[in-house]
């Protein structure tokens, strides 16, 4: 039996109130494999490139050469480089100026020997000419009512000319499937005459924060940071929260809210809190009673060990994140965001390498996601400091964080000056150095 199917079968559970039978903890890599094999890609639709954003669902292929014709890279004079071979400080070559070529005009057919055209940036270089001398490097002589370009040095072939197909050739890949349409790549797409592109639909996401203590008006209260945090992170990724709910630790209420999220045609539901083994942790049992297939529950990670993933019969994916704020951040960053990438035709996020600046000791059993600060040293090498205050309830260290350090299971000590893996603090963004 394949490993993934075996893991899924083992991790299936019969949930009853606070009791979970036959629960098996899995590794982070096993959880990622389950995500990769369970998440389906979103449908795609055509969008105008000028207003497009998101992830493209097909390779974009160049149909013709760009530039389509050889043109001048600057204002100057078009010459035939072979006619300047004998030019030197001691010998002046004179080329008669026989006209001017502007951008957007068809080039003249007259290409008589030892002649030149004044040419503007972007104008077609006419047949018989192959180089351009910048206007500020030229000297013009007037004689007998004519103008001559005086040249005292050899001009190199192809100087200041943009050749046809120098940027793109027919059948070149402009943009690969799974790439993000960013403003700078949009220019390449438009330059190739592509007016619309097929883009993956943006997932509809509902957020459900659980916890009777959150924003409680009837007793001790804790601020609900999880909901606003998830909404803000989704916005930064170009995904809007379809709906955001908060519900107390009441089984019937949780079931009711989850049903509302399903009825809203959410593609994904993210819950926070209520997934551990306490008397008020109702989310796993409610999911099971609603017919959800619980693919995994509890992963060998810190923080966020009680995380779960489930799929409703109607197709919605559920990620149940533990309630501590940093556990929510880890669950979103390393599980939910990976699912979003797969939904939109992308691979699992690659990681970077950095030098660990101080020894860090952790439990060998767990994959540890550490709040970290990364910088660049004088040699241009990334260096990472794992910050103090790694507890899952502590938010202050986040104010100094710009990255995550990833110390895998099986490794107990991340040594000083050892190479470790890191990722930016937020998905799809660079490290704010």
**Domain check: are 124 and 57 in the same one?**
no
For residue 333, tell me if it sits in a domain: yes
Return the SS3 of 151.
Answer: strand
**Domain check: are 194 and 54 in the same one?**
yes
For residue 224, tell me if it sits in a domain: yes
**Domain check: are 193 and 208 in the same one?**
no
Burial tier of 327 (Cβ tally within 10 Å: 0-12, 13-18, 19+)? buried
Query: Residue 275's domain is classified under what CATH number?
Result: 3.40.980.10
Whether residue 23 has pLDDT greater than 60: no
* pLDDT tens per residue across span 301-338: 999 999 999 999 999 999 999 999 999 999 999 999 99
Going by C-beta distance under 8 Å and a sequence separation of 6 or more, which residues neighbour residue 74? 121, 132, 134, 135, 160
**Domain check: are 309 and 366 in the same one?**
no
For residue 75, tell me if it sits in a domain: yes
Going by C-beta distance under 8 Å and a sequence separation of 6 or more, which residues neighbour residue 406? 351, 367, 368, 369, 370, 420, 421, 422, 423
**Domain check: are 170 and 30 in the same one?**
no
Cα 257 to chain centroid distance, Å, stands at 32
- pLDDT recorded at residue 395: 87
Taking each helix axis from N to C terminus, what angle separates 28-38 and 3-11, rounded to the nearest 10 degrees? Answer: 100
- pLDDT recorded at residue 2: 52
**Domain check: are 170 and 209 in the same one?**
no
CB 299 within 8 A of CB 366: no
Question: Model confidence at 392, in pLDDT bands (50, 70, 90)?
Answer: confident
User: Where among 162, 191, 225 does a domain terminate?
Assistant: 162
Give bridge partners of residue 93 from the DSSP assignment: 151
Query: Residue 113's domain is classified under what CATH number?
Result: 2.170.190.11
For residue 78, tell me if it sits in a domain: yes
**Domain check: are 206 and 315 in the same one?**
yes
Query: Residue 418's domain is classified under what CATH number?
Result: 2.40.340.10
For residues 179 and 346, what is the distance between their CA atoms, to the nearest angstrom?
8
Nearest residue to 405 via CA among 389, 392, 421, 382 = 421
Whether residue 17 has pLDDT greater than 50: no
**Domain check: are 334 and 210 in the same one?**
yes
State the pTM of this model: 0.83
Q: Which residues of 346-363 are buried (b: 16+ CB within 10 A; e: fewer)?
A: beeeeeeebebbeebebe
**Domain check: are 328 and 410 in the same one?**
no
For residue 433, tell me if it sits in a domain: no
Query: Residue 51's domain is classified under what CATH number?
Result: 3.90.105
* pLDDT tens per residue across span 69-93: 999 999 999 999 999 999 999 999 9
For residues 37 and 42, what is the distance between their CA atoms, to the nearest angstrom?
14
For residue 225, tell me if it sits in a domain: yes
For residue 268, tell me if it sits in a domain: yes
Query: What average pLDDT does the structure give for the chain?
Result: 91
**Domain check: are 268 and 410 in the same one?**
no
**Domain check: are 54 and 189 in the same one?**
yes
Rg over CA atoms, the chain: 31
State the average pLDDT over residues 43-58: 89
Greater confidence, 40 or 9?
Answer: 40
* pLDDT tens per residue across span 203-221: 999 999 998 888 777 778 8
User: Where among 308, 343, 378 does a domain terminate?
Assistant: 343
For residues 430 and 177, what is the distance between their CA atoms, to the nearest angstrom?
21
State the average pLDDT over residues 48-57: 87
Burial tier of 165 (Cβ tally within 10 Å: 0-12, 13-18, 19+)? middle
Here the contacts of 265-268 (C-beta below 8 Å, separation 24 or greater) are 265/204, 266/204, 266/205, 266/206, 266/242, 266/316, 267/42, 267/203, 267/204, 267/205, 267/316, 267/317, 267/343, 268/203, 268/204, 268/205, 268/206, 268/316, 268/317, 268/318, 268/319, 268/336, 268/339
Greater confidence, 176 or 5?
Answer: 176
For residue 430, tell me if it sits in a domain: no
CB 200 within 8 A of CB 343: yes
- Cα distances from 195 to residues 47, 67, 399, in angstroms, run 9, 18, 43
CA dihedral sign of residues 61, 63, 69, 70: positive
**What kind and span of H or E run contains 318?**
strand 317-321
For residues 27 and 11, what is the distance between their CA atoms, to the nearest angstrom?
12
The total of structural domains in the chain comes to 4
CA dihedral sign of residues 328, 333, 335, 341: positive
**Domain check: are 281 and 383 in the same one?**
no
User: Where among 343, 367, 401 does a domain terminate?
Assistant: 343
Question: Model confidence at 109, in pLDDT bands (50, 70, 90)?
Answer: confident
The domain containing residue 192 runs over which residues? Answer: 46-66+166-200
- pLDDT recorded at residue 277: 83
């Amino acid at each position: 039996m394949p490993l993934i199917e075996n893991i899924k079968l083992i991790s299936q559970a019969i949930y009853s109130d606070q009791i979970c039978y036959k629960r098996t903890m899995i590794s982070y890599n096993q959880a990622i494999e389950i995500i990769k094999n369970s998440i389906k890609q979103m449908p795609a639709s055509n969008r105008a490139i000028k207003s497009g954003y998101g992830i493209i669902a097909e390779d974009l292929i160049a149909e013709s050469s760009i530039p389509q014709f050889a043109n001048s890279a600057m204002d100057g004079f078009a010459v035939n480089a072979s006619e300047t071979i004998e030019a030197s400080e001691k010998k002046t070559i004179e080329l008669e100026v026989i006209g001017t070529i502007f951008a957007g005009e068809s080039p003249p057919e007259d290409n008589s020997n030892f002649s030149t055209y004044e040419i503007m940036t972007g104008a077609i270089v006419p047949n018989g000419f192959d180089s351009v001398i910048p206007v500020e490097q030229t000297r013009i002589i007037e004689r007998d009512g004519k103008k001559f370009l005086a040249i005292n040095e050899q001009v190199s072939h192809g100087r200041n000319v943009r050749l046809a197909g120098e940027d793109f050739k027919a059948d070149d890949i402009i943009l690969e499937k799974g790439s993000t349409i960013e403003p700078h790549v949009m220019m390449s797409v438009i330059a190739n005459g592509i007016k619309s592109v097929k883009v993956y639909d943006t997932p509809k996401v509902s957020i459900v924060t659980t916890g009777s203590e959150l924003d409680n008006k009837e007793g001790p209260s804790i601020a609900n940071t999880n909901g606003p945090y998830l909404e803000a992170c989704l916005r930064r990724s170009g995904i809007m929260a379809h709906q955001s709910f908060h519900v107390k630790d009441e089984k019937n209420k949780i079931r009711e809210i989850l049903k509302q999220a399903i009825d809203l045609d959410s593609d994904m539901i993210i819950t926070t809190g209520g997934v551990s083994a306490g008397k008020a942790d109702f989310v796993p049992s409610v999911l099971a009673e609603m017919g959800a297939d619980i693919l995994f529950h509890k992963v060998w990670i810190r923080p966020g060990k009680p995380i779960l993933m489930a799929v409703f019969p109607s197709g919605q994916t559920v990620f149940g994140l533990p309630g501590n704020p940093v556990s929510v951040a880890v669950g979103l960053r390393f599980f939910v965001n990976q699912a979003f990438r797969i939904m939109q035709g992308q691979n699992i996020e690659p990681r970077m390498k950095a030098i660990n600046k101080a020894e860090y000791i952790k439990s060998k059993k767990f994959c540890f996601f550490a709040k970290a600060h990364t910088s660049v040293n004088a040699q241009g090498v990334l260096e990472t400091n794992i910050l103090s205050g790694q507890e899952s309830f502590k938010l202050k260290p986040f104010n100094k964080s710009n990255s995550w350090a990833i110390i895998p299971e099986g490794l107990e000590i991340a040594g000083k000056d050892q190479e470790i893996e890191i990722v930016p603090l937020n998905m799809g963004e660079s490290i704010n150095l």
